[in-house]
Amino acid sequence: MIYLEKAIEILKNNKYKVTKQRTDLIDYLEKFTLRYVSINQITDYMHTLYPGMSNNTIYRNLKEFSDIGLVEYQEKDKTLVKYQCDFQHRHHHHFVCTNCGKVTEIKSCPIEYFTDQLPGYTVQGHAIEVYGLCADCTKKLTM
């Protein structure tokens, strides 16, 4: 519920209407702070609530949610999104388990390592996702 309250505050601060459709979409996305969900799964769910809702409306809302920091698209596959895991630090990176799909936030940003190697260059943005096996999946493989 805290996520919904924060999301509504962010919508209002960015001059978006708080509609039943948007709150239902946010309510569904709240289940996905630790893993990505496919946009197809989101549209299927929203169509169960709103059979006449267009895919365009869902895609537009997800794009707007991304623009204001409510959701994050996976870097490797832009058809996957997750609910923002850290509203205090919008700029962060992720480790994504290739086995179970668990997403873990990486707190530090290594951008200085790269910019130090690019004197005279202007870096305009970056995104980093690290892929592999989480601790639980690694443990299961070594047993």
- With the C-alpha atoms ordered 41, 45, 47, 50, is the resulting torsion angle positive or negative? negative
Which has the closest alpha carbon to 47: 58, 37, 36? 58
pTM: 0.78
CA 21 to chain CA centroid, nearest Å: 19
Residues 60 and 12 in one domain: yes
Which range (30-44, 82-96, 100-114, 127-141) has the least confidence? 82-96
> Can you give the residue range of the structural domain that contains 6?
2-83
Residues 110 and 51 in one domain: no
Inform me whether the pLDDT recorded for 138 exceeds 80. Answer: yes
Q: Give the pLDDT confidence of 25-55 residue by residue, as tens digits.
A: 999 999 998 899 999 999 999 999 999 999 9
State the CATH number of the domain containing residue 125: 3.30.1490.190
Q: So what's the pLDDT on residue 90?
A: 65
77 or 51, which is more confident: 51
Phi and psi torsions of 66, nearest 5°: -65, -45
Residues 60 and 127 in one domain: no
Residues 8 and 66 in one domain: yes
Cβ density class 81-102: b for 16+ within 10 Å, e for less = bbbbbeeeeeebbbbbbeeebb
The share of the chain scoring above pLDDT 90, in percent, equals: 57
Residues 127 and 63 in one domain: no
Residues 32 and 68 in one domain: yes
Residues 39 and 13 in one domain: yes
Residue 104 amino acid letter: T
What is d(CA 45, CA 28) in angstroms, rounded to the nearest whole number? 8
pLDDT bracket for residue 9 (50, 70, 90): very high
How many domains is the chain partitioned into structurally? 2
